[in-house]
Chain A
């Protein structure tokens, strides 16, 4: 499916924008930047069984991952169809690289 999302999205077209906006509201507090802008979302799949998010972090040693996962779940609760489970999967492959940052994020960080 052709995607206008900043990450690969598979699922009902009507949910694409609300899901993207919900994920964009989750912010990395240290850099005041959305996790979507930092490029931490590897993909979203919405099926009849679940809303599945693939997430990475810049560091495996960062304890904040759990909080980010909780924040994602909380934001997606507001947009997911009632009763549809939300799953957030944390992966380390492929590793995050700065090229994944959005143009806005790169500009802010002086690229």
Chain B
């Protein structure tokens, strides 16, 4: 009968009053979050140095030069890889799953201390562990999106393997971005089940993602052909998401749902820009910064800004009080990207100014998150019974 479980592939019980804080909650999560913050801050500082922003003299240390060289590794692996690893470890509810984010977070730390080789191999360890976690999830739920999540983990493994064995960034970056893009695509595909999906939707997504992976694979042997294919796949993915994502519906909801929808739709617009610029850069136009940062900041950081109010309670045990102020860093990010990516190709000083504002937008978002966490604590402390803090 509908609604009655015939069998239970997996079950977990949560009973009021039985949970005691585990070692993971006390030690591991704060350590992981510190590693995430370190990679993010160093990655941003290194990125600013790369575009020629003068940082305070006191920051002009060896680590800053290393952070500039390893900007992509820090942002995609040390920061995003670790965040996604924590997210998946929380979902799978296995302590061993935290090995993946621990390895990627420590990998970022190694790179900053000049140990690029061990750091890169820790990235490989992270991706192997992360692939294992996704296999467990696939066994638990055989669905289209869990298959795609496994594929995204394998793309990360390929990228990290290339990084550890000394390939060039032009060959590595398509794989690192494929990992991030496919992770998002899989999660959005899962959400589209809530809507009536057109019959061609699923097949067309698979075709687009196959093109993306083929483009990544071809980028080493045929930079022009591979790059154009990769870029076209990104544009088509943006179209797919714009057509089929639930954000088109939830835009007409309210509060947090509407904010998330705006983050998503804005991100999809930058994804299309990134795809066009990726193809153009492969053909020789000077728009590589546009391709990389429309994707990394416009698409991926928009997704982070949208999902942080939902994900942070799960991975950091911090509840946020959503408010209209969340729109301010979002607007700052998008406006600063228009300056950087719209005017940057013609004017390097505007590119640097835009990059500095990008960093300021991220800092403003971090401050918003802190403020929202304090607002939540203040609100529920005054009421006496926060809904998710139980000690009895």
Contacts and interface: CB of A to CB of B under 8 A. Distances in A.
B311 interface: yes
A2 interface: no
B6 A87 contact: no
B12 A77 contact: no
Contact of B310 (A29, A43, A58, A91): A29
B155 to A, nearest CB: 16
Given A63-B91, A92-B10, A109 B145 contact: no
A102 B23 CA distance: 40
B15 A85 contact: yes
A87 B13 contact: yes
Given A7-B3, A110-B249, A58 B190 contact: yes
A87 B11 contact: no
A30 B93 CA distance: 22
Contacts of A31: 191, 194, 246, 250, 253, 257
A61 B145 contact: yes
B91 A87 contact: no
B346 to A, nearest CB: 39
Given A30-B260, A43-B3, A93-B5, A65 B141 contact: no
A54 B14 CA distance: 11
Contacts, number: 163
B310 A30 contact: yes
A93 B7 contact: yes
Given A60-B137, A64-B311, A75-B387, A85 B17 contact: yes
Given A32-B255, A91-B11, A67 B314 contact: yes
Interface in B1-43: 2-17
Contacts of B146: 59-61
Contacts of B310: 29-30, 64
Contacts of A18: none
A85 B137 CA distance: 29
B145 A59 contact: yes
A98 interface: yes
B391 to A, nearest CB: 12
Contacts of B10: 60, 90-92
Interface string A27-58: 00111100000100011000000100010001
Contact of B388 (A7, A8, A67): A67
Contacts of B257: 29-32
Nearest to A101: B194
Contacts of B190: 58-59, 61-62
A103 B295 CA distance: 38
Nearest to A38: B194
Contacts of A87: 13-16
Which of B5, B191, B254: most chain A CB closer than 10 A? B5
16 contacts: A7-B3, A30-B256, A32-B257, A59-B145, A59-B190, A60-B91, A61-B92, A64-B311, A67-B314, A70-B390, A87-B13, A90-B11, A92-B9, A94-B5, A109-B196, A109-B249
Interface of B: 2-17, 87-88, 90-93, 134, 137, 140-141, 143, 145-146, 149, 186-187, 190-191, 193-196, 246, 249-250, 253-257, 260, 309-311, 313-315, 385, 387-388, 390
Interface of A: 7-8, 29-32, 38, 42-43, 50, 54, 58-67, 69-71, 73-75, 77, 85-95, 98, 100-101, 105, 108-111
